[in-house]
Amino acid sequence: MRALLGCMCMSLSVFGCASSPKTTLIFYLDPPRELVNDGGSPNDGGAPSDFSCIGVAGFDIVVTSGSGDSRSGPLLKDTPVLDPKDCHLTQPFSIHDIDVDSPASVVVTGYDGARTPLVQATGRVDNLHGGATHLQLETLATPLSPVLVVNRQPLLPAGAQLADVTSLTVRAVRMSMMLLNVAAGPYFGVEPGAYAVQMNLGPDGTDDMLALTVDFTIPNMAVRQARLTAHWIPIVIPPATTPSGGYYKAQ
């Protein structure tokens, strides 16, 4: 009986003395990298060499673990990504109370101002004891759609705020071809507005100097229309000396 009681106390003390350490697993979000020509792994350079993140206005993070899904909601950037090296979160984002021994997966998606997903990274871990791991953003659009950047606030009527706008339409003056029709959404408020244009706008600056009309819909106000011109803004990524990509800016 004495041995039994001793054994029970010992087992309880052994279990009781086990401490529960604070575990944090960090995912580092890496910008997209261009695949090498042989279709293999991303290049080894530390700098981004891919333009798919241009136009990203914010990110959304979903963490799935044993206890269910946790969602960050829109994590807006101060300004949209106009330089590939800016393709990262403005601030670190953390989700707590995740079971350290359960597998977890993380999905990070980058959206433009029209909530069109442009890039995405996924990662999965068996538990939270790994310390740190990397998430590689990759393009979701192949081929890449050209990005049109519009500085909208100066185009609004006096007294109107960007938050008042319910939709935005961009057309080419020539034949009135529709380029964009955007309803205000969670990523709409990032200024300037950056949108991936999937139709009627040529890639790589071929529609440089295209004449555009921009229409804003604001409740209780007449439709505001502005005439702008799309200028191609080339981007040079070192160590290259010539531009290999860019975006359109409506001015």
Q: Say how far apart CA 98 and CA 67 lie, in whole Å.
A: 7
47 binds another protein per the rule CB under 8 A: no
For residue 138, the minimal CB distance to another protein (Å) is: 16
Q: Which is nearer to another protein, 85 or 227 (CB)?
A: 85
Q: Which long-range contacts (CB under 8 A, 24 or more apart) does 161-165 make?
A: 162/188, 162/189, 162/191, 163/189, 164/218, 164/219, 164/221, 165/216, 165/217, 165/218
| Size of the residue set binding another protein (CB under 8 A) | 40
DSSP per position, 5-17:
HHHHHHHHHHHHH
**Which of 2, 68, 96, 220 touches another protein by CB under 8 A?**
96
104 binds another protein per the rule CB under 8 A: yes
Binding segment toward another protein, per CB under 8 A, in 78-86, 100-108, 165-173, 239-247: 100-108
76 binds another protein per the rule CB under 8 A: no
For residue 58, the minimal CB distance to another protein (Å) is: 13
Q: Which is nearer to another protein, 88 or 171 (CB)?
A: 88
Distances (CA, A) of 166 to 79, 154, 169, 170, 234: 20, 16, 10, 14, 31
130 binds another protein per the rule CB under 8 A: no
Of residues 117, 145, 242, 250, the one with CA closest to residue 202: 145
Of residues 250, 197, 247, the one with CA closest to residue 54: 247
201 binds another protein per the rule CB under 8 A: no
SS3 62: strand
- Asked if the peptide bond before residue 143 counts as cis, ω within 30 degrees of 0, the response is yes
Q: Which is nearer to another protein, 98 or 179 (CB)?
A: 98
Q: Which is nearer to another protein, 23 or 169 (CB)?
A: 23
**Contact footprint for another protein (CB under 8 A):** 3-4, 7-8, 11-12, 15-16, 18, 20-29, 61, 63, 65, 88-89, 91-101, 104, 106, 108, 128, 135
